Chain A
Amino acid sequence: ETGVTQSPTHLIKTRGQQVTLRCSSQSGHNTVSWYQQALGQGPQFIFQYYREEENGRGNFPPRFSGLQFPNYSSELNVNALELDDSALYLCASSLRLAGGQETQYFGPGTRLLVL
């Protein structure tokens, strides 16, 4: 086990609703990244937070937003849900190291279904 937890494990929402997904990082990690994995695809980067600030963002619209808290837990919020948002959402925590040698450790994911 990676020590990264996510909640809830499954979620069903309807189009137009809003959803909040949660992630608890591995102890001591200061960076969290969120990915979306559609069925049959590789994970796609949504954004990354380092020390509570957004450090990078993938090709996702502004209705995808996030937070990282002082205890390095994190949230992913998605507003105005669309059918295509149905996917497995993965968070990954890491400890940023000089030289970029860090490894991202993934949680089990939250499976979101939008009807």
Chain B
Amino acid sequence: AQSVAQPEDQVNVAEGNPLTVKCTYSVSGNPYLFWYVQYPNRGLQFLLKYITGDNLVKGSYGFEAEFNKSQTSFHLKKPSALVSDSALYFCAVRTYYNQGGKLIFGQGTELSVKP
């Protein structure tokens, strides 16, 4: 069965410092991996995805993610955090169409960036 794990419920970072939000996955076959961000009382906003190709994926708002097949990880990173990055972050893996094409989400990581 496919699954996603986000080992940290909360990540605290000082503004200007680099941030990392961790994600590991378990899939059979090639993974389709996504990161979404959710602000309070809002839907999910797409940040970036990995389908194939370069292991370093660049996305919106200066975020990037590194796909590591040997460690089955897809960590979200940003070189310099902003207070406005404070939000709930979800990693997700998408199943193939014959399995419904659904997104399977991790439990989320609350990112708090302090001034």
Contacts and interface: CB of A to CB of B under 8 A. Distances in A.
Contacts of B36: 106
A73 interface: no
A16 interface: no
Interface string A14-51: 00000000000000000101010000011111011010
A107 B43 contact: yes
Contacts of B32: 100-101
Contacts of B22: none
Interface string A93-115: 00010011101111111010000
Interface residues of B, number: 27
A48 B104 CA distance: 13
Nearest to B30: A100
B43 A106 contact: yes
B102 A103 contact: no
Interface in B18-47: 32, 34, 36, 41-46
B44 A43 contact: yes
Contacts of B44: 43, 90, 92, 106
Contacts of A57: 100
Nearest to B46: A103
Interface of B: 32, 34, 36, 41-46, 49, 51, 90, 92, 94-97, 99-108
Interface of A: 2, 4, 6, 31, 33, 35, 41-45, 47-48, 50, 55-58, 90, 92, 96, 99-101, 103-109, 111
Given A96-B101, A100-B94, 10 more contacts: A2-B46, A33-B102, A43-B90, A43-B103, A45-B103, A48-B102, A55-B97, A106-B43, A108-B43, A109-B42
27 contacts: A2-B46, A33-B102, A41-B108, A42-B90, A42-B92, A42-B106, A43-B103, A43-B105, A44-B105, A45-B102, A48-B100, A55-B101, A56-B95, A96-B97, A99-B51, A100-B32, A100-B51, A100-B94, A100-B96, A100-B101, A101-B32, A103-B34, A103-B46, A104-B46, A106-B46, A107-B43, A109-B43
